[in-house]
């Protein structure tokens, strides 16, 4: 479908109208997860383990059940047995079985007539534990003698002889590393670490579940993907998927963390135990941080070779990641993308997915890519410094481009890394003068994007306005993007399109809003469904005029006779055709379903200027520039918002955010006062440049843009701090105490 839509002279694409859900969201009318209230509703609360690793000896709910207002208590005994693979992992994570595997792991849940009673009752559930040794550090978890989280959890990929906590192993690459390193004038080896960072969405997880004695029910839930919630929840409970209808609420951020289940099935289990009454559950912030997935933490070794004129000759990376007490750390993706920015003939990656006593990790914006970018882009910066090379020109020299064989195998098609580097090089921020204790850092990043299962419908109304139904929740303004693409396809006004996020009963399966896919995949589906409607409207016009449909064209929202019939009839507008559709054949609608595969990836380059206070170690971000390829920006303001959001989260990950565990294995900072995400006063206005190298796999050239932006900030900040202080920090986050200690060790803070 190579760019079979319009490629120039767009009337709607590229404009920046207000989002259609904006008024609802600024007036409080939009309904988020916790806004649901239904008659007879109960409230749920979860009993969570205070231990990092403990055998559950006994659960006694007698006192809780005796409390007035308590209607049900559920434990693992209320869930089916015999699940395997990821279904078992999900069930075990939602409700512990024989052992509590991390601080915050659910061991029981309570439903009561008020949230207060439910919380009081949860405290009355008496759980007897036998505390076991624990481990929360990825390197420690791989050592001989480390506590074993779960015997037999390793899959086919793990060679014999590794610690049982290593549950997946990856080994990818090509070429001759010895030759590649022999060809280098400089070989640099460094080790790096990153800490787990949470997605930090403002809206805590919330849901309402109802399930009656007939095994049928419904859920209202804050999620990025309600079909995923349905499939996972029903698998955990052992019921058929279509027995549960799931409606998504509005969503206050997800960033990957709301693509899975954590406590949602508990609302259904409690409802079933309470005679079918609906049960609402809302997490506290502490529950979010203790029990929902942050991303993995990482320990990495990088070795790279470079000639004195800047050509990368070889690269090797070893990546160890822990994703909590279950398999799933995104090291598989890391071992594909770590060096993907560059054209490298000799390249190799080793990856270990390691269990620890931490919460089950969840996807977080470009999962697995930012950690590797931190290690690889920091190493390249070191090499450029040692060889006296310009960091942008060196990246340009090695940059992947159309036709380059990627480090993970296939050749790239049209991509925009070179264009992003050139735009960064030419940006005024590169010329801004730097003062004492100030430094500039540059880094590039990549995310490969995703298509995924997609189903969408478009329905014509009697007045010629249009309703678009998609299955991807609107997190970052996708309603506006869908409306713009539909309006462009139909040749009508943006305001004449309404976009609904449908529930699981209204469309076929849709994957979540993840993988930077919503604007790409649901947008493509919307365009295709609109084109089906246009075809049907052309047919109605042809029938009315008594000509062949092939002699009808669609232009500016109207059917027009063409060819030999041109001018024989007045155009029939969309409104005129739809006003008569009841008498000309009935309703007109279009539909698309498929798994579009032409998603292509997005590259970006970031430039940051910082000032490091030598007395406190505090880093101030002075300027920040994001340059990224969007293919074609449908709504440029929301594309810029994605760029800025990714950068802000990356800055937080680089400078402040971390999961801090005590010696007892308990999370020490489970609130936003202590887990410090960036706030507005921490950041400058983040400058953006949208590069547009059209993606041939989308009618309008769209590439997903949501995830790439979090990849470069980690190394860009490290490179800037290196420039400002002369110190190479190899462990994130680069907090003021850490920088101050490094300055003192180096004797640079007076």
Partner 1 sequence: MVEVNLWSSLRRFADGQDKVDVPGKTVGELLDNLVAAYPGLAPVIKAGVSISVDGEILPAVKSAPVKPDSEVFLLQRMKGG
Chain residues binding partner 1 by CB under 8 A are 155-157, 169-173, 199, 255-257, 259, 330, 332-333, 335-336, 348, 363-367, 408-413, 447-452, 514-517, 595, 597-599, 697, 706-707
The least distance separating partner 1 from the CB of residue 336, rounded to whole angstroms, comes to 6
The least distance separating partner 1 from the CB of residue 348, rounded to whole angstroms, comes to 8
Q: In this structure, are residues 663 and 133 in contact, taking their beta carbons and an 8 Å threshold? A: no
| Residue number, 231 or 623, with CB nearest to partner 1 | 231
Ordered alpha helix ranges (H), 292-416: 331-337, 369-387, 391-398
| Residue number, 71 or 514, with CB nearest to partner 1 | 514
Between CA 105 and CA 35, with CA 242 as vertex, the angle to 5 degrees is 55
Read off φ and ψ for residue 731, nearest 5 degrees. Answer: -130, 130
The least distance separating partner 1 from the CB of residue 333, rounded to whole angstroms, comes to 7
Beta-sheet strands, E only, within 234-383 = 244-248, 279-282, 297-306, 312-322, 346-354
Q: In this structure, are residues 705 and 601 in contact, taking their beta carbons and an 8 Å threshold? A: no
Q: What is the dihedral of CA 106, 112, 116, 119, to 10 degrees?
A: -20
| Residue number, 575 or 641, with CB nearest to partner 1 | 641
Task: Report which of 647, 644, 666 is spatially closest to residue 289, judged by C-alpha positions.
Answer: 666
The least distance separating partner 1 from the CB of residue 385, rounded to whole angstroms, comes to 32
| Residue number, 410 or 567, with CB nearest to partner 1 | 410
The least distance separating partner 1 from the CB of residue 253, rounded to whole angstroms, comes to 11
Task: Report which of 461, 475, 473, 469 is spatially closest to residue 500, judged by C-alpha positions.
Answer: 469
Q: How far apart are CA 111 and CA 44, in angstroms?
A: 4
Q: How far apart are CA 642 and CA 663, in angstroms?
A: 38
| Residue number, 49 or 649, with CB nearest to partner 1 | 649
The least distance separating partner 1 from the CB of residue 595, rounded to whole angstroms, comes to 6
Q: How far apart are CA 296 and CA 200, in angstroms?
A: 14
Task: Report which of 364, 366, 332 is spatially closest to residue 350, judged by C-alpha positions.
Answer: 332
Lay out the sheet containing 106-112: strands in order across.
70-74, 106-112, 42-48, 279-282, 206-211, 217-221, 244-248
The least distance separating partner 1 from the CB of residue 644, rounded to whole angstroms, comes to 17
Going from the C-alpha of 157 to that of each of 85, 86, 154, 594, the distances in angstroms are: 15, 16, 8, 31
Q: How far apart are CA 401 and CA 443, in angstroms?
A: 17
| Residue number, 598 or 617, with CB nearest to partner 1 | 598
Q: How far apart are CA 14 and CA 401, in angstroms?
A: 25
The least distance separating partner 1 from the CB of residue 247, rounded to whole angstroms, comes to 23
| Residue number, 8 or 156, with CB nearest to partner 1 | 156
| Residue number, 101 or 329, with CB nearest to partner 1 | 329
| Residue number, 265 or 293, with CB nearest to partner 1 | 293
The least distance separating partner 1 from the CB of residue 69, rounded to whole angstroms, comes to 39
């Amino acid at each position: 479908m190579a760019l079979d839509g319009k490629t120039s002279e767009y009337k709607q694409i590229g404009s920046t109208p207000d989002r259609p859900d904006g008024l609802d969201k600024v007036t409080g009318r939009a309904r988020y997860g916790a806004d649901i209230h239904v008659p007879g509703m109960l409230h749920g609360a979860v009993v969570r383990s205070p231990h990092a690793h403990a055998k559950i000896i006994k659960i006694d709910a007698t006192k809780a059940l005796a409390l007035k207002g308590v209607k049900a208590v559920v434990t693992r005994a209320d869930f089916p047995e015999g699940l395997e693979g990821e279904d078992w992992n999900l069930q075990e994570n939602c409700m512990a079985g024989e052992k509590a595997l991390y601080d915050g792991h659910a061991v029981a849940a309570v439903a009561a007539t008020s949230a207060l009673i439910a919380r009081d009752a949860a405290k009355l559930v008496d759980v007897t534990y036998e505390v076991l040794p624990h481990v929360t550090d990825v390197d420690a978890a791989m050592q001989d003698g480390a506590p074993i989280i779960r015997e037999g959890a390793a899959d086919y990929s793990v060679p014999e002889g590794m610690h049982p906590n290593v549950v997946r192993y990856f080994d990818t690459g090509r070429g001759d590393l010895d030759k590649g390193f022999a060809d280098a004038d400089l070989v640099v080896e460094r080790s790096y670490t990153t800490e787990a960072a949470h997605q930090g969405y403002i809206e805590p997880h919330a849901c309402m579940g109802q399930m009656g004695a007939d095994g049928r029910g419904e859920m209202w839930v804050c999620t990025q993907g309600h079909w995923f919630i349905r499939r996972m929840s029903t698998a955990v409970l052992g019921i058929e998927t279509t027995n549960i209808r799931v409606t998504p609420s509005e969503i206050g951020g997800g960033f990957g963390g709301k693509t899975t289940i954590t406590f949602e099935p508990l609302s259904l289990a409690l409802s079933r135990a309470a005679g079918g009454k609906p049960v609402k559950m809302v997490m506290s912030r502490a529950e979010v941080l203790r029990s929902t997935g942050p991303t993995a933490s990482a320990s990495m070794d990088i070795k790279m070779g470079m000639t004195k004129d800047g050509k990368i000759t070889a690269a090797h990376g070893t990546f160890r990641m822990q994703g909590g007490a279950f398999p799933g750390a995104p090291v598989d993706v890391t071992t594909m993308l770590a060096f993907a920015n560059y054209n490298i003939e000799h390249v190799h990656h080793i990856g270990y997915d390691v269990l620890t006593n931490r919460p089950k990790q969840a996807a977080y914006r470009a999962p697995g890519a930012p950690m590797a970018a931190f290690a690889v882009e920091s190493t390249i910066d070191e090499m450029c410094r040692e060889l006296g090379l310009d960091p942008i020109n060196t990246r340009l020299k090695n940059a992947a481009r159309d036709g380059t064989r990627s480090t993970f195998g296939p050749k790239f098609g049209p991509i925009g890394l070179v264009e992003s580097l050139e735009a960064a090089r030419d940006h005024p921020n590169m010329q801004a003068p730097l003062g004492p204790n100030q430094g500039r850092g540059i880094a590039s990043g990549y995310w490969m994007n995703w298509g995924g299962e997609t189903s969408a419908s478009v329905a014509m109304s009697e007045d010629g306005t249009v309703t678009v139904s998609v299955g991807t929740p609107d997190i970052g303004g996708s309603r506006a993007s869908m409306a713009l693409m539909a309006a462009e396809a139909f040749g009508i006004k943006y305001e004449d399109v309404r976009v609904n996020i449908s529930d699981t009963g209204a469309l076929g399966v849709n994957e979540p809003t993840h993988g930077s896919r919503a604007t790409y995949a649901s947008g493509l589906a919307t365009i295709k469904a609109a084109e089906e409607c246009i075809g049907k409207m052309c047919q109605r016009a042809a029938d009315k005029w008594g000509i062949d449909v092939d002699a009808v064209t669609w232009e500016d929202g109207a059917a027009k006779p063409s060819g030999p019939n041109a001018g024989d009839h007045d155009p029939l507008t969309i409104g005129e055709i739809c006003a008569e559709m009841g008498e000309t054949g009935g309703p007109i609608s279009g539909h698309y379903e498929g798994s579009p595969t032409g998603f292509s990836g997005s590259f970006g380059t970031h430039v940051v200027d910082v000032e490091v206070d030598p007395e406190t170690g505090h880093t101030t971000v002075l300027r920040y520039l994001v340059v990224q390829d969007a293919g074609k920006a449908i709504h440029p303001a929301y594309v810029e918002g994605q760029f800025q959001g990714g950068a802000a989260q990356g800055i937080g990950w680089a400078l402040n955010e971390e999961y801090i565990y005590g010696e007892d294995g308990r999370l020490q900072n489970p609130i936003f006062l202590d887990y410090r995400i960036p706030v507005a006063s921490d950041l400058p206005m983040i400058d953006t440049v949208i590069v547009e190298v059209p993606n041939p796999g989308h009618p309008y050239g769209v590439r997903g843009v949501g995830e790439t932006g979090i990849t470069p900030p980690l190394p860009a900040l490290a490179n800037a701090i290196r420039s400002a202080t002369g110190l190479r920090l190899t462990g994130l986050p680069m907090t003021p105490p850490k920088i101050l200690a490094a300055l003192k060790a180096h004797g640079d803070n007076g």
